Structure 1
Amino acid sequence: MTLSTPTTRAAGAAAPAALWGLLFVLAGNMLIDALEVSVALVALPSIGADLELDTPQLQWVVSGFAAGFGGLLLFGGRLVAHLGRRPVYLAALAVFAAASVAGALADSAGLLVASRFVKGFCAALTAPTGLAIIASVFPEGPARSRAVAVYSLFGAGGFSAGLLLSGALSEVSWRWAFAFPAPVALLLFAAGTKLIPRDGPGPRPAGGYGAVSALSLTGAVLALVYAITSVPGAGWSGARTVGASALAVLLAVVFVRVELTAREPLVRLELLAREPLVRSALGAGALNGSYLGLLLVATLHLQQRAGWSPLETGLAFLPASAPLALTALYSGRIAARFGPARLIAAGTAAAALGYALYPRDGRADISYAADVLPTMLLVGAAFVLAFTALHLQATAAVPADRQAAAGGLYQTSVQLGAVLVTAAVAALHTAGTGPALLLVVAVGSAGLLPALRGLRPRRAAVPVAAP
């Protein structure tokens, strides 16, 4: 794929203003992609009251975005490789803005969840593409390192920004929390038309785009989520539960069959033989899923039982998200100093302990300092320790020419972990805060297993005598 613009790597010194303008377009989009994950959480009680949704229905607002992101991430990479970074990136920004307006005006759960799914797909197109544009445009060395640092900082700060903005805007109406990204995306689109470098389309993938694989995987996940959330109302043997479960199994079989016979599968099988990558993907999926499960339970608890406002709830969650943003520029150095395996084990242990400390009785008279803050501080420490270390461990386990594919597989696991755990937590929440939190603790503790395996000392290879 060739670039034809003055703001290419060779022209980096000649046009620094254009380069840094491009960076802030890409970083700004990364910011709104990241805050979309958290912007729905604080608004959930208001959405439920307005649209008359119970908890299993409400969780779709969160899991819909993650399903669009994780289920279509690998497919999106194929589209970008063939159609070009610039046209796909700009189209995704425009669609993202339109979906934000549609979600803000939605008068039914179906339209709201559909808009969230579309925005998740847009994020799957832009989030990795932005980093690829940085790597192709900024000259290797300090300039590229600073650009990646800024991009990462905006991404890490997006979650905290989403909590604050959603909390403040939901005081007026939850619809503003879903509408405000639209003008931002349009401004980034306008700037991007002038700053994002032009590139030509690449060759069509020899094995196709992988649309059948992507749709079958996404469909299987959505069907499984529907089955899980149908249990409270229909029971384990209900027609909805059994039918959705059967459909999930069927689509999963289709996905595996297509992947095994494809000339260029979306998931490269040789990557699954890389134990550090698999451990990182499982650990990150458990960490992300349990964290969002905790925030789902805590949001409903603090607003519906304790009577806190959306803004108070968003502020209460900041100690869990802000530390990662504050340490984003130094996380790589921390991982290099202590080693990813140690940090991942310490981080997952801190998260599990934090979940266990949250009050499981769902009482209304709680103290923030005694009941909520310890959990949030431990979870914040967990992400500072483990978040970057998990990604570094995943990508370092594969050759350089396979790191992009490994990163896509890793991010898919992160998002799908959020989808499945959030659905299960929401289903259990119908039985009370206690059962839902027990599942959060169980998933967080399960994340310790691959982390502890990474701490095992490696055996030296036994020399074999030549025959």
Structure 2
Amino acid sequence: MTAAPASATDTDQARHPWGLLLVLSGNMLLDALEVAVLIVALPTIAADLALPLVQAQWLVSGFALGFGGSLLFGRRIVDLLGRRRAYLLAMAGFALASAVAGLASAVVALVAARLVKGFCAALTATTGLAMISTAFPAGRARDRALSVYTLLGASGFSVGLVLSGLLTSVSWRWTLLFPAPVALGLLLAARRHVPRDPPRPTGGGAHLAASAPVFLAGAVLLAYGLVSGPVRGWTDPWAAGALLLGGALLILFRYVGGATVAPLLRAHRSLAQAAIGAGALNGSYWGLLLVLTLHLQAVRGGTPLGTAVALLPASVPLALSAPWAGRVVRRIGAARLVALGAALPLLGYLLALRLDPASGYLTAVLPTLLLVSLGFVLSFAALHVRATEGVPVALRERATATYQTAVQLTGALTVALVAGLLVAAGGAPTPSPALTAGGYQPALLVIAAVGAIGFLVALAGLPPGGRRA
């Protein structure tokens, strides 16, 4: 069937805005749970496929690399294809990649599917907020829509933990397969509710083709170098070569495709601080969850469902507090909340340094999870506010993409390094009940160091003289 040409109304607003919001919010929830479902399932997948941890971790970091490595270019793809076409293609690709990942047994196919899912998630994330802003007029209606969208995003990690625990108890393959039918359902709904719009060619196709692969390849090589260095040795040609080449590619990107990013960060100090702070918060959090998942399952012999329930205190409070976060930021000030929100997780990571294979949940794990959770409650919304503070409206989409790129890539790189350190310190491909008492310490020190970077940057962002900001 040939679609009728889009009218001005089709282009500017959705005919059924709340139907559109339901689709976009469901998509946001699906994207948000992708890391949580894999972290809990990782020990089971590694054991079933006989994968060492340094390979299995790519299932987590691969998605984040595909997501974070594509966000800066998502807007250009959307401009070339139009929002509707880009969104529908991304949802179809996400569903297909989910099916491939769920059926594959070769690690290369699994990781490739995760990278593709991350890329597709980046495209839907790029278009989601823009479509909400277009569909809902400024004021109460748009605020309510954004609250629903944010709430489901904040709930995604908790939902992912529970789903992973339940599905992995049946088969780990369901943790990778279940997004496929959900994405197909959202795709069918999106065909009805996502408004048509014309492409907006910018003449940047060649520019995109040159810069996107350079950036993504540089990030992947850095991750490979970080996961290989602790195991092979930092002077090993493969590890050192990957780090050097990855760094060189990112420097090249600065001149090929990143010329607009660096000036934006220099001109808006709060954006740079928020990107570093959010990256440190997310990276240290993912690294901690990897350590605790392996501790609870591979070392302590817990079940995936038991692990999921044990980790919920780190994520549920954020979901519960999301509706009131904006009000708290306005009352206390974003910079103060970011600083306090960085201090509490750092305290938790320092407490976690005493973790050893004999550590129990209530005394050694839960206190750290609660401190990290409080940090997210305080700083999650405040970091988003800081990221766009003082940025002109025309540049906010680019600022948000830069911010989210830092969040995803820091998470991926921290997980890679933590996995390598766990393997090197434990003397085995995967932590086991025979892990020595000092096996966690190098990884936990790195996690604490990443958290400390976020805290120091947050302190630098505090306004002078105690003013609110």
Q: TM-score, normalised by structure 1?
A: 0.92
1:203 is displaced (CA, Å) by: 2.5
One-letter identity of the residue aligned with 2:174: W
- CA deviation profile, 1:140-172 (whole Å, cap 9, x unmatched): 221111111111111111111101000110011
Residues paired across the two proteins, number? 449
1:5 is displaced (CA, Å) by: 7.3
Contact kept in structure 1, 2:76 and 2:204, CA below 8 Å: no
- CA deviation profile, 1:268-306 (whole Å, cap 9, x unmatched): 523333111111111111110000000000000100111
Residues 269 and 208 of structure 1: is their aligned pair in 2 closer, same or farther, counting only changes over 3 Å? farther
Q: Does 1:338 align with 2:332?
A: yes
Contact kept in structure 2, 1:5 and 1:198, CA below 8 Å: no
The 1-side partners of 2:39 and 2:124 are apart by 22
For residue 457 of structure 2, the aligned residue among 420, 445, 450 is 450
Contact kept in structure 1, 2:11 and 2:196, CA below 8 Å: no
> Which residue pairs with 1:44 in the alignment?
42
> Which residue pairs with 1:202 in the alignment?
200
The 1-side partners of 2:204 and 2:11 are apart by 29
For residue 121 of structure 1, the aligned residue among 119, 123, 135 is 119
1:322 is displaced (CA, Å) by: 0.8
Contact kept in structure 2, 1:75 and 1:209, CA below 8 Å: no
Contact kept in structure 2, 1:101 and 1:178, CA below 8 Å: yes
> Which residue pairs with 1:168 in the alignment?
166
Q: Does 1:143 align with 2:136?
A: no
- CA deviation profile, 1:236-289 (whole Å, cap 9, x unmatched): 2222113212321331232122137xxxx4525233331111111111111100
Residues 109 and 207 of structure 1: is their aligned pair in 2 closer, same or farther, counting only changes over 3 Å? closer
The 1-side partners of 2:27 and 2:463 are apart by 40
The 2-side partners of 1:162 and 1:286 are apart by 22
For residue 399 of structure 2, the aligned residue among 406, 409, 426 is 406
> Which residue pairs with 2:7 in the alignment?
4
CA RMSD of aligned residues (A): 2.0
Q: Does 1:234 align with 2:227?
A: no
Contact kept in structure 1, 2:231 and 2:421, CA below 8 Å: no
The 2-side partners of 1:307 and 1:289 are apart by 26
The 2-side partners of 1:196 and 1:275 are apart by 36
Q: Does 1:277 align with 2:271?
A: yes
Contact kept in structure 2, 1:75 and 1:266, CA below 8 Å: no
> Which residue pairs with 1:85 in the alignment?
83
Residues 205 and 339 of structure 1: is their aligned pair in 2 closer, same or farther, counting only changes over 3 Å? farther
The 1-side partners of 2:319 and 2:187 are apart by 25
> Which residue pairs with 2:436 in the alignment?
none
The 2-side partners of 1:452 and 1:229 are apart by 30
The 1-side partners of 2:240 and 2:204 are apart by 38
For residue 378 of structure 1, the aligned residue among 371, 382, 392 is 371
Secondary structure (helix, strand or coil) at the match of 2:170 reads: coil
One-letter identity of the residue aligned with 2:296: L
Matches for 1:38-117 after TM superposition, within 5 Å: 38-117=36-115
Contact kept in structure 2, 1:67 and 1:221, CA below 8 Å: yes
1:396 is displaced (CA, Å) by: 1.0
Contact kept in structure 2, 1:103 and 1:112, CA below 8 Å: yes
Q: Does 1:428 align with 2:435?
A: no
The 1-side partners of 2:353 and 2:234 are apart by 29
> Which residue pairs with 2:445 in the alignment?
438
> Which residue pairs with 1:291 in the alignment?
285
1:4 is displaced (CA, Å) by: 3.2
1:204 is displaced (CA, Å) by: 2.4
Structure 2's unaligned 5+ residue stretches are 426-438
One-letter identity of the residue aligned with 1:349: A
Contact kept in structure 2, 1:70 and 1:411, CA below 8 Å: yes
Residues 48 and 140 of structure 1: is their aligned pair in 2 closer, same or farther, counting only changes over 3 Å? same
Q: Does 1:219 align with 2:217?
A: yes
Contact kept in structure 2, 1:78 and 1:205, CA below 8 Å: no
> Which residue pairs with 1:369 in the alignment?
362
Residues 210 and 458 of structure 1: is their aligned pair in 2 closer, same or farther, counting only changes over 3 Å? farther
- CA deviation profile, 1:392-433 (whole Å, cap 9, x unmatched): 011013122211111111111111111111111111112121
Matches for 1:182-197 after TM superposition, within 5 Å: 182-197=180-195
The 2-side partners of 1:351 and 1:290 are apart by 9
The 1-side partners of 2:49 and 2:409 are apart by 26
The 2-side partners of 1:359 and 1:307 are apart by 21
Residues 140 and 270 of structure 1: is their aligned pair in 2 closer, same or farther, counting only changes over 3 Å? closer
The 2-side partners of 1:141 and 1:8 are apart by 21
The 2-side partners of 1:362 and 1:58 are apart by 23
The 2-side partners of 1:123 and 1:48 are apart by 25
The 1-side partners of 2:30 and 2:260 are apart by 27
1:7 is displaced (CA, Å) by: 6.5
Secondary structure (helix, strand or coil) at the match of 1:171 reads: helix
The 1-side partners of 2:284 and 2:379 are apart by 14
Q: TM-score, normalised by structure 2?
A: 0.91
Secondary structure (helix, strand or coil) at the match of 2:57 reads: helix
Residues 288 and 163 of structure 1: is their aligned pair in 2 closer, same or farther, counting only changes over 3 Å? same
Matches for 1:309-348 after TM superposition, within 5 Å: 309-348=303-342
Contact kept in structure 2, 1:100 and 1:181, CA below 8 Å: yes
> Which residue pairs with 1:464 in the alignment?
none
1:62 is displaced (CA, Å) by: 0.9
- CA deviation profile, 1:192-224 (whole Å, cap 9, x unmatched): 111110001113245745232221111111111
